[in-house]
Amino acid sequence: MAVENRHEEKATRRASENARGLAAVMPRLVLEARRIAATVIHGLHGRRRAGSGENFWQFRRYTSGEEARRIDWRRSARDDNLYVREQEWEAAHTVWIWPDRSPSMSFASKLARESKLDRCLVIGLALAEVLVDAGERVGVPGLLRPTGSRAVIDRMADAIMHDPNERASLPFGFAPASLAEIVVLSDLWSPIEEIRKTLNQLSVTGAHGHLVQIVDPAEETFPYSGRVEFIEPEGGGEITAGRAENWRGEYEARLKRHRAEIRAETDRMHWSFTIHRTDKPANELLLALHARIAEGNEGAVLRRRRTA
| Top-confidence range, 37-46, 169-178, 205-214 | 205-214
First-to-last CA distance in the chain? Answer: 56
CA distances from 16 to 30, 148, 162, 186, 281 (A): 20, 30, 9, 22, 31
For residue 6, what pLDDT is reported?
Answer: 46
Question: What whole-number distance in Å separates Cα of residue 213 and Cα of residue 169?
Answer: 12
Lowest mean pLDDT among 73-87, 118-132, 213-227: 73-87
> Could you tell me if 195 and 56 lie in one domain?
no
> Could you tell me if 80 and 97 lie in one domain?
no
For residue 305, what pLDDT is reported?
Answer: 46
> Could you tell me if 20 and 132 lie in one domain?
yes
Lowest mean pLDDT among 11-25, 113-127, 249-263: 11-25
- The helix/strand/coil state of 44 is helix
Percent of the chain with pLDDT over 90: 53
> Could you tell me if 66 and 205 lie in one domain?
no
Lowest mean pLDDT among 3-12, 13-22, 144-153, 199-208: 3-12
For residue 47, what pLDDT is reported?
Answer: 45
Question: What whole-number distance in Å separates Cα of residue 291 and Cα of residue 308?
Answer: 26
> Could you tell me if 253 and 156 lie in one domain?
yes
Query: What is the residue-averaged pLDDT of the chain?
Result: 83
Question: What whole-number distance in Å separates Cα of residue 166 and Cα of residue 39?
Answer: 33
Q: Which domain holds residue 78?
A: 51-88
For residue 5, what pLDDT is reported?
Answer: 43
DSSP structure class, residue 33: H
pTM for the model: 0.77
Render the burial of 254-269: b for 16+ CB within 10 Å, e for the rest.
eeeebeeebeebbeee
Decide: 84 and 213 in contact? Cβ < 8 Å. no
pLDDT of residue 107 exceeding 70, the answer is: yes
> Could you tell me if 55 and 110 lie in one domain?
no
> DSSP secondary structure string, 200-236?
HHHTTT--EEEEEEEE-HHHHH----SSEEEEETTTT
The domain total for the chain is 2
> Could you tell me if 162 and 59 lie in one domain?
no
Instruction: Give pLDDT tens digits for 156-208.
Output: 999 999 988 878 899 988 999 888 999 999 999 999 999 999 999 999 989 99
Q: Give 86's contacts (C-beta < 8 A, 6+ positions apart).
A: 50, 56, 57, 58, 59, 60
Instruction: Give pLDDT tens digits for 233-265.
Output: 766 677 787 788 888 999 999 999 999 999 999
For residue 84, what pLDDT is reported?
Answer: 82
pLDDT of residue 53 exceeding 60, the answer is: no
> Could you tell me if 226 and 96 lie in one domain?
yes
> Could you tell me if 68 and 161 lie in one domain?
no
For residue 62, what pLDDT is reported?
Answer: 78
Domain finish residue from 88, 115, 148: 88
Question: What whole-number distance in Å separates Cα of residue 281 and Cα of residue 276?
Answer: 9
> Could you tell me if 118 and 16 lie in one domain?
yes
